[in-house]
């Protein structure tokens, strides 16, 4: 006898994207409950519901924004819950469930593969098993390597006890590779601003996590192939991601250094090498990580606007970074260049872009702009903070970055709830969320007559 799915089951699990949304919401709820327990907070009593919800959402969505000081407000149990939520959120709820099923049974069902594909954005069902194992291995290797470097530095350069050094090192390594930016110091990493042995490994972990797992796996695979054949052939996605990431990192570093060079509240207090180091570190953190080595609240308004642009673009697809993604930005740039040149199609690096790719990029960008503007308007109605600070906070939440000018904790409950929703949408992506909420998919079986309205 055939079992028919109930309406609730179809609504939640009928489409892989909806399953991802439901899974993220469920884990956020579990995290909220755990952080609301008295044992999760230091001292007597328990955290408030809004504080627990905001912290759980920020952790699962690997954002890093906080309404309380992580290192002093939460107990060891609470910090463990936060670290677990960061790890689960970065890996992907559906990818994690698929990996567990794979390890237990040695195989994946079709529905589980489709769900994992929606989360990991792999190119084919046959790639899912390889992607899941690759994601797990890459995550483990990078986090262990960076954690070991930081732990050794904390132990021998700062005299921390072995246990504390190891805990701080691996906590920050997981937070960095996850692009969460959650730190255990009230001043984030500003106390290590002149220590390249802390800032550079952290920046490297952020960049690797922000490139996206498909890019990392392809680089590893082609490195092995190059040793055997002498050839190196990268996909267009990898070329776009690496090229755009390098350009944005370099551009951000140069402009941040120029804008903040004489600002005594930020880079002005350092010598030239440390100015460049912290300019690069700050540019890297705009990829989608919330660590800061200089006082974000002391930045020039022009620098805040520049960082808003970089945070809005974000990092690579199918990784731990947020934003509209560098590939979306590159595709839109290619479309603009083709239109200016009068060419009928858009092309990048010798490859023609399909029309639906351009539509997807345009949809993601416009929906994201609309969402950021709506959230900024809503926050301005409930707070007296400066416009540039509010815009910065909104873009940071949408891009799951976590950098803050310091106004998050002072926002009213309504403002914190707005940022909570924004972090959730920013992690899942506007298109994924819209697809998950759609009741059905429509296929048009006819073509409408063509007509060209006046543009501009």
- Is residue 275 within 8 A of residue 257, CB to CB? The reply is yes
**Average pLDDT of the chain, as a whole number:** 85
Token duo for residue 96:
């994690």
Q: How far apart are the first and last CA of the chain?
A: 60
Residue 128: pLDDT above 70?
A: no
Distance of CA 22 to the CA centre of its chain: 19
pLDDT value, residue 450: 83
- Is residue 411 within 8 A of residue 379, CB to CB? The reply is yes
Confidence of residue 1 (pLDDT cuts 50, 70, 90): very low
Q: Which range is least confidently modeled, 109-123, 151-165, 224-238, 363-377?
A: 109-123
- Is residue 317 within 8 A of residue 429, CB to CB? The reply is no
Query: For residue 454, is it within any domain?
Result: no
Query: For residue 446, is it within any domain?
Result: no
Residue 408: pLDDT above 60?
A: yes
Secondary structure class of 294 (helix, strand, coil): coil
pLDDT value, residue 20: 76
Residue 109: pLDDT above 80?
A: no
pLDDT value, residue 199: 96
Query: For residue 69, is it within any domain?
Result: yes
Distance from C-alpha of 456 to C-alpha of 451, rounded to nearest angstrom: 16
pLDDT value, residue 430: 67
Distance from C-alpha of 87 to C-alpha of 83, rounded to nearest angstrom: 6
pLDDT value, residue 101: 53
Confirm whether pTM is higher than 0.85: yes
Nearest to 288 by CA among 328, 315, 252, 326: 315
Q: What is the DSSP string of 256-273?
A: HHHHHTT-TTTGGGS-HH
Mean pLDDT of 397-401: 94
Residue 454: pLDDT above 90?
A: no
- Is residue 90 within 8 A of residue 205, CB to CB? The reply is no
Confidence of residue 93 (pLDDT cuts 50, 70, 90): low
Query: For residue 103, is it within any domain?
Result: yes
pLDDT value, residue 456: 75
Q: pLDDT, tens digit, for every residue of 275-292?
A: 999 999 999 999 888 899
Mean pLDDT of 405-423: 94
Residue 436: pLDDT above 80?
A: no
pLDDT value, residue 2: 45
Q: What residues have CB less than 8 Å from 441, skipping those under 6 apart?
A: none
Q: pLDDT, tens digit, for every residue of 150-159?
A: 999 999 999 9
pLDDT value, residue 226: 55
pLDDT value, residue 213: 78
Query: For residue 326, is it within any domain?
Result: yes
Query: For residue 252, is it within any domain?
Result: yes
Total structural domains in the chain? 1
pLDDT value, residue 3: 53
Nearest to 285 by CA among 404, 165, 194, 438: 404
Mean pLDDT of 291-309: 94
- Position with higher pLDDT, 405 vs 226: 405
Query: For residue 455, is it within any domain?
Result: no
**Which residue segment(s) compose the domain that 49 sits in?**
9-436
Secondary structure class of 425 (helix, strand, coil): helix
Mean pLDDT of 326-346: 91
Mean pLDDT of 113-118: 63
Q: pLDDT, tens digit, for every residue of 42-90?
A: 876 889 999 999 999 999 999 999 999 998 899 999 999 999 999 998 8
Distance from C-alpha of 26 to C-alpha of 100, rounded to nearest angstrom: 18
Query: For residue 445, is it within any domain?
Result: no
pLDDT above 70 covers a percentage of the chain that reads 82
pLDDT value, residue 144: 96
Distance from C-alpha of 95 to C-alpha of 97, rounded to nearest angstrom: 5
pLDDT value, residue 223: 61
Confidence of residue 439 (pLDDT cuts 50, 70, 90): very low
Token duo for residue 30:
């579990």
Mean pLDDT of 338-361: 87
Q: pLDDT, tens digit, for every residue of 197-247?
A: 999 999 999 999 888 877 887 887 766 555 555 555 788 888 999 999 999
Mean pLDDT of 363-372: 92
């Amino acid at each position: 006898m055939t079992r028919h799915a109930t309406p609730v089951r179809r609504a939640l699990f009928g489409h892989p994207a909806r399953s991802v949304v439901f899974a993220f919401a469920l884990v956020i709820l579990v995290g909220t409950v755990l952080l609301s327990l008295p044992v999760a907070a230091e001292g007597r009593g328990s955290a408030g519901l809004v504080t627990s919800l905001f912290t759980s959402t920020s952790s699962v969505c690997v954002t890093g924004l906080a309404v309380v000081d992580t290192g002093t407000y939460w107990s060891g149990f609470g910090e463990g819950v936060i670290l677990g939520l960061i790890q689960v959120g970065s890996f992907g709820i559906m990818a994690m469930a698929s990996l567990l099923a794979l390890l237990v049974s040695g195989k994946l069902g079709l529905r589980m593969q489709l769900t994992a594909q929606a989360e990991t954005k792999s190119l084919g069902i046959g790639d899912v098993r390889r992607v899941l194992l690759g994601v797990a291995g890459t995550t483990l290797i990078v986090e262990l390597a960076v954690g070991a470097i930081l732990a050794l530095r904390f132990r021998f350069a700062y005299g921390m006890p072995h246990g504390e050094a190891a805990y701080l090192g691996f906590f920050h390594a997981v937070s960095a590779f996850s692009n969460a930016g959650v730190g255990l110091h009230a001043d984030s990493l500003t106390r290590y601003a002149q220590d390249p042995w802390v800032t550079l490994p952290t920046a490297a972990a952020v960049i690797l996590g922000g490139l996206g797992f498909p890019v990392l796996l392809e680089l590893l695979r082609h490195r092995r192939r190059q040793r055997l054949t002498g050839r190196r052939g990268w996909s267009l996605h990898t070329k776009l991601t690496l090229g755009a990431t390098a350009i944005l990192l370099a551009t951000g570093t140069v402009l941040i250094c120029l804008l903040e060079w004489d600002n005594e509240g930020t880079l002005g207090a350092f010598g030239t090498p440390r100015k460049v180091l912290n300019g690069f570190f700050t540019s890297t953190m705009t990829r989608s990580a919330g660590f800061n080595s200089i006082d974000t609240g002391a930045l020039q308004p022009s620098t805040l606007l520049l960082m808003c642009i970089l945070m809005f673009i974000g990092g690579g697809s199918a990784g731990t970074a947020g934003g509209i993604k560098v590939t979306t930005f590159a595709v839109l740039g290619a479309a603009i260049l083709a239109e200016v040149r009068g060419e009928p199609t858009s092309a990048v690096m010798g490859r023609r872009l399909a029309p639906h790719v351009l539509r997807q990029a345009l949809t993601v960008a416009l929906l994201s702009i609309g969402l950021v503007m709506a959230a900024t308007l809503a926050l301005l109605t409930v707070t007296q903070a400066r416009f540039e600070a509010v815009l910065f906070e909104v873009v940071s939440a949408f891009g799951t970055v976590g950098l803050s000018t310091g106004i998050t904790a002072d926002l009213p409950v309504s403002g914190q709830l707005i940022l909570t929703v924004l972090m959730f949408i920013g992690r899942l992506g506007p298109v994924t969320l819209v697809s998950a909420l759609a009741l059905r998919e429509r296929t048009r079986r006819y073509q409408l007559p063509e007509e060209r309205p006046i543009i501009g």
